[in-house]
Structure 1
Amino acid sequence: MKPVIGVILSILFLAEHLLAQPVTDIVSLPLQVATHKTSNLIFPASVKSVDKGSRDILAQKAKGLENVLHLKAARAGFKETNLTVITDDGKLYAFTLTYHEHPDPLNLKVGVTSHKFPEALSERPSERELEEAAMAVSGKPTFLTGKLDQKDGVRLQLGGIYVKEQVMYYQFLIQNNTALSYDLSQFRFAIRDRKQAKRTAIQEQALPVLFALDKAERIQGGQSQQIIIALPKRTIPDKKILLVQLMEENGGRHLSLRLHNRHLIKARPLEMH
């Protein structure tokens, strides 16, 4: 009887210890993949299991290298999905996957600071913090005018930019003034040269979307939708622009905005109450 009581006490002690541990958010890292290029994830330990959020993602471990995972897109233009990887050392890694013709970076060493985000991963805002800040921005007034694009009855407009620590939050308003629904395919951001010389390949640096609030997949006719996009804080050299592209699924009503540094430096500090 005494051994049984001892086991029960041990279980209760372990349960109390686990419940006392703080709960932390696992940040989902943004990652781009394409059909014609292979992206490589390099982990500090062997890959034990891989869970894909969609069949549109192809994943396999590198032959002879248990800590390297190859990724490709099964089809172009797939909708945003996720990937979860667990390694032999018991760590879990989460990724948000989007399609891009020119993935950047192609090779990512997981567990070290990404060159696209200036602070260490431990200092990066959690998913919950990003969501709370984005919700605060959604209730803020718009203050930027003139930056809009419209085509065939659909309009994309930048309403404002707010900044909190190392993240900038962009307010966008999409209006569908037609009877036809507008299906969103991609919302992408890239730094590109302001002027492109003829016969020269387009050089651009894609920016990772850290968080998107109210990213509706469809905007019905006669309706509008506000979308808040969180991107890493940055400014732009004078000879470059921030290109914002909104692509329609199975359609041609694609919209784009060309933001200059003079727009970004108008960002207002985000005050949380």
Structure 2
Amino acid sequence: MEKLLIVLSLGFIYSVKAKNIKQLDTLYANEIMTMALFFPSDIKQGITGSDNFVFTYNREKEQNLGLLKAIKGNPSNLLVITTDGKVYSYILIYSEYIDDLNRFITVNESIGDAKRVLKKEVEANKNLKKSIPENNSQDLLRRSCESLLKLPEEKNIRKKEGGIVLSLKNLKYHGNNVFLQFEIENKSKVRFDFDYLNIFKVNGNKKRNASYQEIRLKSLYTYNKPQHIIPTTKAKMVLVVPKFHLDKREKLEVQLQELNTTRKIILDWR
């Protein structure tokens, strides 16, 4: 009888502990249908653990809608942080058939709060603003660029050409300056020798020479400019230019050129 009571007691303790553990829900996805996930608040960041699952959301304008797709492969996981600091985590599994293509997520599904992380980001933003000087001294511009690299990446505008991927990861306005953070990834089998990275304001269509205009933005400071990028590696750099404004017909164009070759990547966006 005593042994039975011990067993029952242990079982009760185990069940109480098990109730305190947050069980992760499972989401199913495939390459044919798109699973729509509606969160209670706008999405700040979303990450999948494996490349065979893709989670997309609006990085330019915060929205609460995320889209999930997958190709056949091993199970993975999804981590989402919303603008109110809530953290959501799910198991991801590939399935050829999906019962429900729309999932409305509630706050109760949150596994925790990322307010500490958000607080660090706020502090980093404050440090960035404090460190950007009005007189554009080289030392203070350098520290400002270092602060920018500590912030979360808010953009992912990218272009791939000849095995080289050029991406804009962050763009910050402050005072009379604009800070642009770029990432250069070498997916080719040949070393990339950096020559220059220039930014232009473009107006009109290149096919119509009479209406096409290209104005280069003066570079005030370049931080962490790479010399060589070997295969399967990445390099991050920050370019500081004077404050600019784009009208409806204008766009930005970034030109990345390799030294002594014709390999060139042109990235543009509005």
Identify which of structures 1 and 2 has the higher relative contact order when contacts are C-alpha pairs closer than 8 Å and 6+ apart.
Answer: 1
Choose between structure 1 and 2: higher helix proportion. Answer: 2
Q: TM-score, normalised by structure 2?
A: 0.48
**TM-score, structure 1 normalization:** 0.48
